[in-house]
Amino acid sequence: MKINFPLYTAFMVSLFVLTGCGQSDYRPESTASGEQMFAQACSGCHGEGGQGRFGFLLTIAGTEHPADKVATKILEGGLIMPEFVQLTEEQRLEIANYLKP
Ligand code: HEC
């Protein structure tokens, strides 16, 4: 069987886009605060201030996870959540600390 590579590639790319897994191309300004980065990169899914976008489902404000765990989550993403490999550890910790109570 012959594989149609352009079609195959297009299919895989759309699969990635649809499922959301993959990398975010978000690039913050170097002076951005944790709050600003969250508003720009995360609130689309996690809601304003982390209150959750889809009911309480994606609420992460006041998370009980330690900041370094949240920072790792930002780095690695999830099944649906994109990974933010371009953020520095400092930036990821800043976002994490913004979410902490
Ligand atoms: C495309 C939507 C989307 C974006 C953008 C997104 N997330 Fe998520 N996030 C999710 C989903 C869905 C989950 C739960 C399932 C999973 O891990 O994919 C999640 C899970 C998490 C968790 C784990 C919550 C827990 O209680 O275990 C944390 C922490 C988190 N996100 C923080 C962030 C931060 C910080 C950002 C911005 C840098 C961000 N997310 C951007 C969709 C998103």
What spacing in Å lies between the alpha carbon of 38 and ligand 1's midpoint?
11
Q: Who lines ligand 1 at CB under 6 A?
A: 20, 41-42, 44-46, 58, 60, 63, 70, 73-74, 78-82, 84, 95
19-42: average pLDDT: 89
Q: Tens digit of pLDDT for each residue in 44-53?
A: 899 988 887 7
Q: What is the pLDDT of residue 12?
A: 56
Q: Are 32 and 61 in contact (CB under 8 A)?
A: no
The identity of residue 72, as a single letter, is: T
Q: Compute the distance between CA of residue 5 and CA of residue 42 in angstroms, rounded to an integer.
A: 34
Confidence tier at 101 by pLDDT (50, 70, 90): confident
Q: What is the pLDDT of residue 52?
A: 79
Mean pLDDT (the chain) is 84
Q: Which ligand 1 atom sits closest to the C-alpha of 64?
A: 26
The per-residue pLDDT for 57 is: 74
